[in-house]
Amino acid sequence: MRIKQLLVIGCWLVVSGLAIAQDNIIDEVIWIVGEDAILRSEVEEERLRAQYEGTPIPGDPYCVIPEQLAIQKLFLHQAELDSIEVSESSVSSQVDMRMNYYISQIGSKEKMEEYFRKTSTEIREEMMTGVRNQMIIQQMQSKLTENIAPTPAEVRRYYSNLPSDSIPMIPAQVEVQILSMEPPVSLEETERIKNQLREFTDRVHNGSADFSMLARLYSEDVESAKRGGELGFVGKGQLVSEFADVAFNLNDPKRVSRVVKTEYGYHIIQLIEKKGDRINCRHILLKPHTSIDDKTNAIKRLDSIRELMVDSGLTFEIAVSRYSEDKSTVMNGGLMTNPNTGASKFEYQDLPPEIAKQIYTMKEGDISMPFVMMDRTKNKEVCVLVKLKTKRDAHKANMVDDFQVVRQLLEQRQKAETIEKWIRKKQKEIYIHIDPAWRGCDFQYSNWVH
């Protein structure tokens, strides 16, 4: 039987062949699922991680977490039997994002190591295992539920059997079209930004300033500036192409790149380290700022376009194709896509606040007056017109307008029932042992102890 690192035997703890009195136990096996052990330290780590991430634990963590870990091991055991594997590059990419998130939230790599009481290498290795297992479990669950597809008759029957107070409320939803313009930046402002970045480069090269210090003082990428401009390890596909092309061609950590223009502004980059197809680098971002006159001129231009739509029959879709500078919407008539769902319908709270405020009192087909808003993907101000394409008030789900919503509810229920039935079956098929001191729990599944 493969038990990780240590075992509790009688009143002695055996660690790497050394017997230590149980009074000094620093870890212990609390569950065994098949050939895998669940350690007390694993539970503590999960509890600490949930506490840091603000993830609520529905009950006693010393009951909930071991059961969750046991359920994961059931899926992993079956995945091993079914030869389910995941792409290591996908795992590595996910870990990079998580590591960078922790560093950004805690403040630095050193503070992260202090918080978790481990080196960044150890943290990364554990994350690799956790993310890999998570992806395998997701694939295993997908395999178990892949054939679930409720028929229209099943959906109608499910809806008809729902008690009135159980029929879900569909919140108010809208579809919005947008025409966006970026106020032009003067050549003088662009040159000022470039010259400032060139000055930073000269100071780093002649040794009169440290790149990370300059990033903290001047970079307009707020999150990375807190870390001295450090981005953390990323793959090439995680960066905009103009930035990636320059960053991945850097080889000397003592040198600074040329000035690089992207949709976010102007950058200079310094290499920290390369690992295979990933890179860690620092950057300083400066953004050219538009003047009040530039914004006023863009607003006047949009006002003229709006007059053409109202008075001369110019459609919003054609105006978008001619004038809009929003690449994400210009090809579909300006129709915005909800990043949370991938669909065109938005609840008000999912819209940028400036747009939500504008359309709240508008009627279908209305076009707003031009206004200035913050494009949060680029972190810059843009001038826009918006049109309210459709608007549906909050209502109880019905089979005419909300068939797909009801179908998704039924599908989710059937998948959950399938997973639950599978877990109860698997509990009977695999060896499970729980330390007596950890059995006094009101578990979600009652068949852990046979």
Q: According to DSSP H, which parts of 85-119 are helical?
A: 88-106, 109-116
pLDDT confidence bin for 114, thresholds 50/70/90 = confident
383, pLDDT greater than 80? yes
Q: If you count them, how many residues does the chain have? A: 450
pLDDT band at 104 (very low <50, low <70, confident <90, very high): confident
Comparing 301 with 377, the larger pLDDT belongs to 301
Q: pLDDT, tens digit, for every residue of 173-208? A: 999 999 999 888 889 999 999 999 999 999 999 999
* Residues 244 and 221: beta-carbon distance below 8 Å: no
Domain covering 190-286 in this structure, CATH number: 3.10.50.40
pLDDT tier for residue 139 given thresholds of 50, 70 and 90:
very high
Window from 45-54, 84-93, 182-191, 278-287 with minimum mean pLDDT:
45-54
Q: Are 316 and 367 in contact (CB under 8 A)?
A: yes
Query: DSSP letters of 164-232?
Result: GGGSPEEPPEEEEEEEEEPPPPPHHHHHHHHHHHHHHHHHHHTTSS-HHHHHHHH-S-HHHHTTTTB--
Q: What are the tens digits of pLDDT across the range 239-257?
A: 999 999 999 999 999 999 9
> Measured in Å, how far apart are the chain's first and last C-alpha atoms?
20
Q: What is the rounded CA–CA span in Å between residue 295 and residue 299?
A: 6
Q: What is the DSSP letter of 370?
A: P
Element spanning 37, H or E = strand 36-39
Question: What type of residue sits at position 321?
Answer: S
Query: Average pLDDT over the chain, rounded to whole?
Result: 89
C-alpha dist (Å) from residue 104 to 20, 347, 426: 40, 30, 40
156 pLDDT higher than 60 = yes
Q: What is the pLDDT of residue 147?
A: 94
- Does pLDDT of 39 surpass 80? yes
In this structure, which amino acid lies at residue 372?
A: V
Higher pLDDT, 413 or 238: 413
User: With a threshold of 0.75, does the pTM exceed it?
Assistant: no
Residue 91: strand, helix, or coil: helix
In 74-89, which positions are buried (b, 16+ CB within 10 angstroms) versus exposed (e)?
bbbbbbeeeebebeee
Tell whether the model's pLDDT for residue 291 goes beyond 90.
no
Residues 397 and 158 sit within 8 Å (Cβ to Cβ)? no
Q: Residue 96 contacts by C-beta under 8 Å, 6 or more apart in sequence?
A: 232, 233, 234, 235, 238, 278
Q: What are the tens digits of pLDDT across the range 251-284? A: 999 999 999 999 889 999 999 999 888 899 999 9
What does the pLDDT read at residue 25? 52
Burial class of residue 160, CB neighbours in 10 A (0-12, 13-18, 19+): exposed
- Give residue-wise pLDDT tens across range 325-358: 988 899 999 999 998 888 899 999 999 999 999 9
Q: Return the domain boundaries, the chain.
A: 190-286
pLDDT at 26: 67
Q: How far apart are CA 135 and CA 133, in angstroms?
A: 5
Phi, psi (deg, nearest 5) at residue 391: -145, 125
